Every structure is written in structure tokens, then in C-alpha cells.
Homo-oligomer: A and B are copies of this chain.
Amino acid sequence: MILSLDRQIPLSTLSEINKYIHKVKIGYPLILENIEYLDDIVKLHWDEIIFDLKLADIDNTMVLIVSKFINYADSFIAHSFIGIEGALDKLSEFLKNQNKSLYLVLSMSHKGWNDEFYPYLKNIAKTIDPKGFVVGATRPNMIRIVRNDFRDKIIISPGVGAQGAMIGDAICNGADYEIIGRSIYESKDPVTETKKIIETQEVKINECKRTEN
């Protein structure tokens, strides 16, 4: 599981949650709220800190942006839609040189996203060859398609909980990680909620594995 943090929560709570969730995704809402909070986050033990900046600009601007976070981030999220030459080519090269990873968005979780572009985005993804992809948990069919097209890549899926996808569904359809944010950090008791969600996910995954066999 990946914790999506869009705002600060007490460090004591975060370090409790960190016992159960070992990957965290950070976006601009949190960064802009208090950039110094990043120093606290990195002190905890995460397998991966993902900066979800939905990078979608020209190469020069994207490299300037990721450079600001290079000491905090293990990986960054960018849009594949912007294309390669003068955009993702330089970003991907820069991140590789810095030993950082890249996730490309192939399908978003909100209703208005249009999957008609997937064939185009797929070609970009094959050329850039990132660590993995973002595919909305609200689109199980797209998760299956992307899993089929990219056997060895990591698929991370936002949109679980507050945005409507059921816990465990994305994993059952081929995603590697589900991204959960508001359901945890907006809960009255985030730590208990974290444990409940992990349990729910485990039950669901076992169920779908049974039906698969």
C-alpha cells in the first residue's frame, strides 16, 4: 500500500502509520502547505518516497522542478501525454543520472479522463521505459490492459476509498500497490483506519486469489 499525503498529520501519527505502510506519495498540496514537513517525513523509514507532481511541462522546467526535491524523492510521477522530444526524454535521462525513478501516468481515476489515448501513451511508455505506471483504481479494465502490456513494470493505483474504488480491487486486477489518502488522513483515528484498510485489502486479495485458482 502507498499512503498519499495531501496535508500534514501529526508526526507521531505518521510514524505509527509508517509501521504498516512503507511507501508514501507526496504532492504539491502538502509541499506548498509546509515544505519543511518534508524533512520530518524523510526521517521515517520508507521503502519509497514518491513525489506526485504530475509533471507535464517542457524539459527545462521539469528538470528545474525535480532538482528541488532530488534529496527527498526516490521517484517522481509525470504525465506521458506530453510526449518525448523536448519533454520526457530529458526528464527521464536526468532522473536516471540521479539514480531516481519515474512513474508515467497511463490512466487517471477521475471520470473525465479519456482512455482513447492509451495506444499513444503506451508507445511513449515503451520508449521511455520507466519504473512503472499510474493507472486509476476506478478503471479495473485499464489495469488489466496495462498489466498485460507491461508484465514486469510496477503499477500503482490511486482512487481507492474517497474516489470510489473498493479496497483490494486494483490489486485483484493486476496492480502492485493501491494508493490511499483521504480515507486515512481524514479519519478520526488514522492508525486504526490504516489497520482496518490493510485487513480489508488482505481479505479481498485472498478472495480473488481463491476465485482465480
Contacts and interface: CB of A to CB of B under 8 A. Distances in A.
Interface stretch (A78-86, A94-102, A149-157, A167-175): A78-86
Interface residues of A, number: 40
Oligomer: number of copies: 2
A85 B31 CA distance: 26
Interface in A31-84: 31-33, 35, 53-54, 56-61, 64-65, 68, 79, 81-84
Interface of A: 6, 27-29, 31-33, 35, 53-54, 56-61, 64-65, 68, 79, 81-89, 108-114, 116-117, 120, 163
A60 B59 CA distance: 26
A24 to B, nearest CB: 16
A87 B89 CA distance: 27
